[in-house]
Amino acid sequence: MSRMSRYPNGFSAGALIRNMPLGDGVSGKVFWVGNNSVKLEGEKTAGNVNLNGSGGTFLAPFASLDYAIGQCAAERGDVIMVRPGYTDTISVAAGIALDVAGVSIIGLGRGAKRPVINLTATASTFTMSAADCSISNILFTGGVDAIVSMIVVSAADCSIENCELRDVTGQMTLGILTTAAADRLKILGHVHRGDSAAGTGAGIAIVGGSGIEIQIDVMDGNFSVAGIDVRTTASTDLYVHDVGRFYTRNAADIFLIDTITGSTGQIGPFINLRLKDHAANITEACTGATFVYMQPINIVNLAGESSMQINITASTDA
């Protein structure tokens, strides 16, 4: 049996998708989604038809990501491959709902060719409400001002990897929101490109949950509360590390805040923060007395200056 023959829908076993080995680890079905105007040779017009299993293939892709999710079976290990150039619009809460357990959504393409999901109403959300799900390499754009929250995660063992949230019209109020059920959520390779004007509260809001891990490539915006806001319910064993570039355009000058004052976990190492004001704000950039902090956590205020490490009280051998 050839390696290709295991995946008649056009997916090759042993492939690497954004450095993730999916080949022999794919136990379920592979569905393709695409609605771009430029067609491949032999490609049929995309449509939401799955008669006798004939839809959702590489050359006859489903036209809707939400429809493709509905064709998956819980915990079968299904994968949805989203073609370059795919676009979708969310105009209601849970407009796209990842509500089938164990499903992975993988966007193909780079830059402007990545799949784009545009949110066009303040209540619009992409939701992850089933356990063991993942999304990767999707660009989420704000097509309206004051979106309450772009992505809401309310299930355990999910992941959001190499995705980007971007303001286009106005400012999103919040990027990613969790509930207390989002144990062991992984947000990795995350990019948040917010507008420089005021209007955003936080990039990520953590509400409870245990073992959540956050790694950020870029987070840039006018965060009136913080880049990461741990609020409402204490989070345990939170792990935030390897932040390539954080830049807040707000005088609050806060990267991470724990308003619960009882959350636990590790902040750092390898975090790089740029603040707005040249003020007594270095220690205050990360708050939470019950976290431990691993250097280096580098902070800089003004152009022309070099960073200093956060001056939180250091451990002693006493």
What pLDDT digit, counting tens, does each position of 39-70 carry? 777 777 656 665 445 579 988 899 999 999 99
Among residues of the chain, what percentage have pLDDT more than 70? 89
Structural domain for 271, as ranges? 84-309
User: Over 70: is that where the pLDDT of 5 sits?
Assistant: no
User: Over 60: is that where the pLDDT of 183 sits?
Assistant: yes
Q: What's at 146, amino acid-wise?
A: A
| Strand residue runs (E) in 5-103 | 16-17, 20-21, 30-33, 79-82, 87-90, 96-98
With respect to residue 262, please indicate whether it lies within any of the assigned structural domains. yes
Residues 164 and 283 in one domain: yes
Residues 231 and 295 in one domain: yes
Confidence at 16, pLDDT banded by 50, 70, 90: very low
Q: What is the model's pLDDT at position 38?
A: 74
Mean residue pLDDT across the chain = 90
Round to whole Å and give the CA distance between 284 and 216: 20
Contact 299, 306 (CB under 8 A): no
Buried b (16+ CB within 10 A) or exposed e, 22-48: beeebebbbbbbbbbeeeeeebeebee
Residues 72 and 115 in one domain: no
Residues 150 and 242 in one domain: yes
Residues 162 and 30 in one domain: no
Report how many domains make up the chain: 2
What pLDDT digit, counting tens, does each position of 270-290 carry? 999 999 988 889 999 999 889
Q: What is the model's pLDDT at position 26?
A: 67
What pLDDT digit, counting tens, does each position of 219-250 carry? 999 999 999 999 999 999 999 999 999 999 99
Higher pLDDT, 289 or 142: 142
Say how many residues make up the chain.
318
Q: What is the model's pLDDT at position 20?
A: 46
User: Over 70: is that where the pLDDT of 111 sits?
Assistant: yes
Kindly report the pTM of this predicted structure: 0.90
Give the residue from 76, 94, 127 where a domain finishes: 76
Give the residue from 76, 92, 117 where a domain finishes: 76
Q: Which two tokens stand for residue 316?
A: 């002693």
Residues 176 and 51 in one domain: no
Q: Which two tokens stand for residue 138?
A: 């999707």
Give the residue from 76, 93, 118 where a domain finishes: 76
User: Over 70: is that where the pLDDT of 304 sits?
Assistant: yes
Residues 222 and 255 in one domain: yes
Mean pLDDT in residue range 215-222: 98
